Homo-oligomer: A and B are copies of this chain.
């Protein structure tokens, strides 16, 4: 930096201003310093700066699965809020791999980011512990870790299940199927709880269909179980715990010669755009991912700005119903795209 200052004929402070507050420097001075920097190949070294300052203006977001569009929405909401707060957001995708999640957490930790947003799929205790014990603020997204030592932002998945079942009941269906995996995934457990509550309140029937694969590949197993039910117990509506599974059910019903929703209504529950390429537009429940991401950044910035005053809290964001052809039929089905 001293070389740059000497070459440009300015003080060290001016070089620092050009790097950090260019708006405070005269244009001609700024250009002279920039020329010197270019000539000397000087790299503005964010690492050296943040080592000195003990922090930087960066937030690290570690996501379980960038393939699921919910997490893309979360990332976009977080990024826009971060930009609005003058922070830089970096993303790292764990790709459903806990070991990779740890690699990303350690990387951000080592890079001394201001704070970390963590959207895990399973209990993030180990991950949160390793971040928390260094004192780095962390906000957990989309998972209720039940921790008093960090903020949490959740989607109300119980309400998502309730909205789904309520919608099918309102359409006149009296025997609902809930197609889902085991309860070790919180969203599955919570959506099931909501479905059961709506069904119990309305006094209709519920058939629970377990599948091992929550992607479209689970469709054939689900339809085989439906077909094996005695004729009098066949459901008239299917709620799939994910949109991809809903897509798989619609495809498999089509192969079996059944019309959706004519013979049987189908819907998903998680607003995953990957599942929207099928032949029948799929009813779903919109997950407010962008709000989740934005709320998480706000909580983190509050904690970073005023660690002494900050109080940890849990924010729960409500989902909403999106009706399409797979439940309501062709016309006049409202269209909705997000």
Contacts and interface: CB of A to CB of B under 8 A. Distances in A.
Contacts of A95: 76, 79-80, 83
A311 interface: no
A43 B110 contact: yes
A44 interface: yes
Nearest to A60: B90
A44 B109 contact: yes
A322 B251 CA distance: 16
A306 interface: no
A277 B69 contact: no
B58 A66 contact: no
Q: How many copies of the chain does the oligomer comprise?
A: 2
Contacts of A67: 72, 76
Contacts of A333: 279
Contacts of A58: 107
Contacts of A93: 75-76, 79, 89, 91
Interface of A: 38, 41, 43-51, 58, 66-67, 69, 72, 75-76, 79-80, 83, 88-93, 95, 100, 103-104, 106-107, 109-112, 133-135, 216, 247, 251, 273-281, 322, 324-325, 330, 333, 335-338
